[in-house]
Amino acid sequence: MTSGNEIIPAPRAVEGPTRCGVLLDDSTVLWAAPGTGSTERWLRATLGAALGLPLRPGPKEARGGVRLLVDDTLGPESYRLSVIADRGVEIRGGDPAGVFWGAQTLRQLLGPEAFRRAPVRPGTRYGVPHQIIEDGPRFHWRGLLLDVARHFMPKEGVLRHLDLMAAHKLNVLHLHLTDDQGWRVEIERHPRLTEVGSWRSRTKLGHRASPLWDERPHGGFYTQDDIREIVAYAAGRHITVVPEIDVPGHSQAAIAAYPELGNTDVVDTRSLSVWDTWGINPNVLAPTDDTLRFYEGVFEEVLALFSSEFIHVGGDECPKEQWRDSPTAQARIGELGLAGEDGLQAWFIGHFDTWLAARGRRLIGWDEILEGGLADGAAVSSWRGYAGGIAAARAGHDVVMCPEQYVYLDHRQDGGAEEPVPIGYVRTLEDVYRFEPVPPGLAPEEAAHVLGTQANVWTEAMEDPARVDYQVFPRLAAFAEVAWSRLPAPERRDFAGFERRMVAHYERLDALGVGYRPPGGPKPWQKRPGVLGRPIEGTPPVR
């Protein structure tokens, strides 16, 4: 069993634990009040299956039972987990999500066996020490971006990551569904997006400067039923799925499928294929009415699939050369009286901001969407550092902080020569643990616009799920604590204490089958000798 002092992310307050406690066994019953059904189902299907406990329905007063209830005196997503000897286990949540997060903490208290899929010691009685844990999140948005466009992750992999997110109390999955290298969501009115756009003929291995290629075709996509399943599975774990459909840059896969979407007066878009390498692609969408209508059709189907308040439209890394050379684009700039190509991009993004707002949704995009002006209701994902987030918050826009200098998990974890396909600056477990999402200098009313934070997993150099595991873990555990817990200032954080708690957490990750980076460095099968990366030396500039 585990004490409350080994919980990740760290809870707000723990009273106890003491030696006495509650034993869970075949006779333990589960009572669930209205509003707690998702946690009731999860406890039986996941925790019950792992430990061989049936958790049969029983009366609220059952001695030694487990009780679930909503208590609106607690805050959103907050919970109180009480383990009282001779009385049982009670989880009170400020809302259904709070009850669920309390159940995640109970799972950790039961030890690593609770993270398996079936019991390894049938008939065991599982003890939980007597204690009371009171907890709640610092941020409303605690996110993970999965880039399934560069390397496709089959549906089962996405469902697995939703379970891993739930285990760390993360609640937003940002699903990066389209890019130059692939289109991953079925759009029924535009079937060539997946017939053509979801497959590339080969793939660059490593950084774009690498001479190596994987000559096998790569691709795949999610059917609309797959997406519905992913969204429903996430909702059962109180996770929101935010889709990203990139416009107007990062769009070569779409242009390869429908050449008329590109700048046909500048390049022969019919000769383009789904891109097989990495970097910033010059082939961007044409700023025409036909392009707008096409993507309105795309977004109509996306809105029917995803229930999230926010829809991500990308908006980053959109080269302007084709627009500068395009008579069509220049005519549109003149017709609308725009301030050059930056104004044209702002107009493009602004169109979809208005379109989404009219349908009760909110646009969010990368911090480049600030250039040329931003509509009032739009939110910003600040990735190039803090500056975009600061500017957005001061202008009254909501912000998700995800600066690459701290929370881009494709960046390498160590400076050693054995680190596989080393990308970017060294970002250690401690670096992530000392990340502070709210930049200094924001006034309280400005800081209130920081919705939360997100770790981003870009998969150019992650060719399979094992590589994703290696890059994401254990750093996601540190990030989860930053996003959930009310930690001291970065320089005052107890990283040594976090490392001690990670000893127990590594056992949980082992039970879950996570191929994390060991503290001592990569295992032989985790290395990628000879595959060129792009390491950058020194301390990253924090802007």
Residue 86, phi-psi category: left (phi > 0), alpha (psi -120 to 50), beta (remainder)? left
Question: How many CA atoms does the CB half-sphere of 443 hold within 13 Å?
Answer: 7
CA distance 49 to 169: 21
Length of the chain equals 543
Cis peptide leading into 474, omega within 30 of 0? Answer: yes
| 464 secondary structure, DSSP code | S
Beta strand 199-200 pairing with 218-219: antiparallel
276: annotated active-site residue: no
Q: For residue 484, report the phi and psi dihedrals to the nearest 5 degrees.
A: -95, -50
Q: For residue 502, report the phi and psi dihedrals to the nearest 5 degrees.
A: -65, -25
Q: Which of 134, 317, 342, 499 is catalytic?
A: 317
317: annotated active-site residue: yes
CB contact at 8 A, 497 and 487: no
* Residue 272 bridge partners (DSSP): none
CB contact at 8 A, 3 and 131: yes
Q: Which of 174, 218, 238, 250 is catalytic?
A: 250
CA distance 39 to 100: 5
Token match 């997060």: residue? 101
Beta strand 29-32 pairing with 65-70: parallel
CA distance 499 to 80: 25
176: annotated active-site residue: no
Q: Which of 90, 179, 431, 481 is catalytic?
A: 179
Q: For residue 182, report the phi and psi dihedrals to the nearest 5 degrees.
A: 170, 145
DSSP calls for 423-435: EES---HHHHHT-
CB contact at 8 A, 388 and 367: yes
Instruction: Cite the active site residues.
Output: 179, 250, 317
